[in-house]
Structure 1
Amino acid sequence: MALKFDTDFDPSYGKSITVVPNVLRITAKNPSPFTFHGTNSYIVGRNTLAVIDPGPDDDAHLETLIEVIANRPVSHIFVSHTHRDHSPLAARLKQHTGAIILAEGPHRPARPLRIGEANPLDASADTAFHPDVVLADSTVIDGDGWAIRTVLTPGHCANHAAFALERTGVLFSADHVMAWSTSIVAPPDGAMADYMASLDRLIERDDRLLLPGHGGPVTAPHSFMRELKIHRRMREKAILERIRNGDRTIHDMVKAIYRDTDPRLHGAAGLSVLAHLEDLVARGLVSADGDPAIDGIFIPVV
């Protein structure tokens, strides 16, 4: 079964778009193979506001946010996770508004770095970020006419959180679930077992609309997330088949499994395969020559 993505999206750079009542979307002009047309920031409320994911440290995006805020007070800045396309602008926006910054916590990997291992995502990790308030799971922050509940969703990043707009059925899903693409799960920052558990958690909720960190809304979240889960299990099956058929390296698996994928994404694809392999080794389905690594050798467990 092929997962159907929705790539019909107008970023409307420099403008705000009303996505649901009292929620505006502003898309940063930082397009890439990983960010689609750019990072979505959301402004919640009518009088005293909350901002969700201020975005990259970009002067033009900050100017647009300030223009849309239009001198209204901002009480809270929520950050879903510490990748450089989501969190760095929080500090500058705080300077301008005086709002407090809230997030699950500072940047950290999903597992400890191994001896001799370099983090391939250092360039994307916002290690300078530190929230004013650390959010525990299910914490509800009450604002002026709005309430936002933290729903912890590790997987894409160890400190990834989604934010539910209470009593609306709207969930800001950040990079965990997006309509235009699957989420990148790349060790050591991300973990496939965590991602799948978080996906199950969101499937169990009753949200009717997901507003992601990139691209347009997910309008049928439950069916889409079930398809995402099937897609991940099919990818896992493909990796197992490649190993049983003789592939021993991630490089060879990526060449076969991602042959129709943009070559610029093959590096990320390799990390995604590694995330699956870490999970498969932990479950005793695959064996590795030492700890699973991007340049490791993998064999099936008979």
Structure 2
Amino acid sequence: MPAQTDAAADWSGWRLAHAMAARFVHWAVDTEGSSRSSALIRIGLAMLFWSRWAGELLLYMDQSPAGLFLAANFFVATTLLFVGYQSRVAAVWTGAVGLAMYHYFGFQLGREPWTHHHTYLLAVSALLIALTPCGASYSLDRYLAVMRAERMGLPPPAERGNLLGLRLIVVQLSVLYFFAAFDKSGYAFSSGARIEAIFLWYYAGSDYPAIPGLAWLATLVSLAVVALEYSLAFGLPFRATRRYLLLPGLAFHAIIYVTLPVYTFSATMVLLYLAYFDADAVDRVIARLQGIGPTAGEETS
């Protein structure tokens, strides 16, 4: 029979684990908040889809039945997502189109640029934003809802909803950062060899440049990248550490955007950083910028 002290310790540990699990479930599943940050992500994702693929999917680019079918679905779905009509359906539709481009047109039909990780990230993000109240603000859905309320003599519906999708985006970004860092944790990257190879490929050419200390600099940059990505994976979800990691994370994505052909990856990551912030806090910032709402009233009182 276990000693009473052991039983008490086990009970205390179980209660602590249960409390932590309950708190996590509340954060992940039960939290409600402003819909405005979700709406901004919705609009931004539609624009990123256009930025990445609209030029390749113009109707004259691929006039095969499959190409025309893909283009029609792409432009209709992303337009509905942008204007916010049937926003959640449009988000699922857009995400499904993105996954079809990634898996079928990319891997099966051999369009190699469509198999890159930024393609998958855009598609999955569109699916996850469907699990938010992304149509409750800045949308045609919102306009129609307000008009219906006015006709019925009711107040406008609240711009709020369940934020499960934002929580899943946070998990997605942390997983992305973790495995990006894990993939770079071997000697091939940490030694600086990959950074040197990238520099030679894009900037220096086949001849090794006569730059003093280049190998050491490449090693330091490599180690810094790995450390930063691990820090972003585990630190950005928490407010206490986020304040120290936000600017380094944004700077990191800005640097790789202007130095490497990462397409829409950096812009997508910066947009999705909105998911890390409390949705009501984002709403208060927007109200302050617009000079409306309780935040503006507090300043004038």
Q: Rg larger in 1 or in 2?
A: 2
TM range (shorter): under 0.3
Higher strand proportion = 1
Which protein has greater RCO, CA pairs closer than 8 Å, 6+ apart? 2
Q: Which has a greater percent of helix?
A: 2
TM-score normalised by the chain length of structure 1: 0.28
**TM-score, normalised by the number of residues in structure 2:** 0.28
